[in-house]
Amino acid sequence: EATIVYSISLAFLLFLLKWLELRFIIFHKSFEIYIGAIAVIFTALGIWLALKLFRRDAFGTKPKVKTIVVEKAVYITNENFFLNTSLVSELELSKRELEILSLLAEGYSNQEIASKLFVSLSTVKTHNQNLFEKLEVKRRTQAVEKAKRLHLIP
Partner DNA sequence: CAAGCCCTCATACTTTGGTAGCAAAATAAG
Partner DNA sequence: CTTATTTTGCTACCAAAGTATGAGGGCTTG
Contact residues for a copy of itself (CB under 8 A)?
A: 10, 13-14, 17-18, 21, 31-32, 35-36, 38-51, 53-56, 60, 63-77, 104-109, 137, 139-146
**Which of 154, 135, 146, 152 shows the shortest CA–CA distance to 98?**
152
Q: Which is nearer to DNA, 96 or 151 (CB)?
A: 96
In one-letter notation, the amino acid at residue 44 is: A
Please choose which of a copy of itself, DNA, none residue 120 contacts, taking the beta carbon within 5 to 8 angstroms, the exact cut-off set by kind: DNA
Give the integer Cα–Cα distance in Å for 71 and 50. 38
Is the sign of the CA dihedral 132, 136, 139, 145 positive or negative? negative
Q: How far is the CB of 151 from DNA (least distance, A)?
A: 20
Q: Which is nearer to DNA, 3 or 120 (CB)?
A: 120
Give the integer Cα–Cα distance in Å for 3 and 68. 34
Q: How far is the CB of 98 from a copy of itself (least distance, A)?
A: 17
Q: Which residues form the interface with DNA (CB under 7 A)?
A: 92, 94-97, 109-111, 114, 117, 119-123, 125-130, 132, 138-141
- Return the exposure string of 51-76: e unless at least 16 CB atoms fall within 10 Å of the residue's CB, then b: eeeeeeeeeeeeeeeeeeeeeeeeee
Q: How far is the CB of 80 from a copy of itself (least distance, A)?
A: 10
Q: Which is nearer to DNA, 84 or 130 (CB)?
A: 130
